[in-house]
Amino acid sequence: MDRWGAGMISVFIRTSADRFSWFSRPGNPEIWFYSGASKISFSIIDALVTKAKGFLLAPVETFQQSKADEPSAVFTYFGVFLLINALLSAVIAMFIVQLFPGLDNLPIRGPLPALVFLAMFVGGFIITFVFAAWLHLCVYILGGRKGIMQTVRAVMYGSTLCLHFGWIPFFSFIFALWSFVLWILGVRELQEMSTGKAVAAVIIAVIIPLIVLMLLFAYLFISAVTTTQVSPPPFDSF
């Protein structure tokens, strides 16, 4: 038993300075987790939280400092907070199932939290990459030439507010709007475009899919109504 006392569990993680350059402080590439000890050092977690606070409180400066972030660091940042978001969304789904007994007859009632988690985590990655590629096409058409990875950084870092608070019911739309603003700032700073072009690129990338989805839902709704419409009964004969 060492000096940290009984029940101590220590896990040593050494990170590569090249791979996670902004995750570790100079001369401190190590992270120690102590259970039952008074000393806790979380270098990576501290770096994640610090970076997230930067995008929330000083987004322009933080985007400017993030131009050279390694892809592995960007994906790790996004993945960690997306995982937390998916877990919290699953918890909310579990509470909803418990609060509304009328959902007992649903066949997916039991696995609903797990399905929500998978949809948020796996679907979140897929949708983010697809949207980043689509946004980059709009950026490229409008003159952005700094590479697709800069657009991916803008989308993943710009989604910080949604990742942090998007799981809160009834308020997720507000955080989505703020992430929309962060995408614009990210595209402007990372692609070195004018504000007008950055705004146009993000608006086009968001509006066109929304219009397509609205038309698709309208078509499906009209089709469902017309196919299920019941003809009036015939007049009674006298």
Return the pLDDT at 210.
Answer: 94
123 occurs within a structural domain: yes
Question: Which own/partner pairs from 163-168 qualify as long-range (CB within 8 Å, at least 24 positions apart)?
Answer: 163/78, 163/81, 163/82, 163/84, 163/85, 164/52, 164/56, 164/81, 164/85, 166/85, 167/85, 167/88, 167/89, 167/92
Mean pLDDT for the chain? Answer: 80
Gap between the Cα atoms of 163 and 179, Å rounded: 9
Residues 33 and 127 in one domain: no
155 occurs within a structural domain: yes
Gap between the Cα atoms of 1 and 139, Å rounded: 58
224 occurs within a structural domain: no
* Total domains in the fold of the chain: 2
Residues 22 and 93 in one domain: no
Residues 106 and 135 in one domain: yes
194 occurs within a structural domain: yes
Residues 158 and 107 in one domain: yes
51 occurs within a structural domain: no
Residues 136 and 81 in one domain: yes
Return the pLDDT at 110.
Answer: 66
Residues 136 and 190 in one domain: yes
Residues 8 and 112 in one domain: no
Return the pLDDT at 225.
Answer: 82
28 is in which domain, residue-wise? 1-41
Which ranges of the chain have pLDDT less than 70?
Answer: 1-42, 101-110, 228-238
Return the pLDDT at 46.
Answer: 83
Gap between the Cα atoms of 226 and 88, Å rounded: 40
Q: In the structure encoding, which two tokens stand for residue 49, read together?
A: 């939280």
Return the pLDDT at 103.
Answer: 62
112 occurs within a structural domain: yes
92 occurs within a structural domain: yes
Return the pLDDT at 236.
Answer: 54
Return the pLDDT at 29.
Answer: 41
Gap between the Cα atoms of 96 and 113, Å rounded: 10
Reported pTM: 0.73
182 occurs within a structural domain: yes
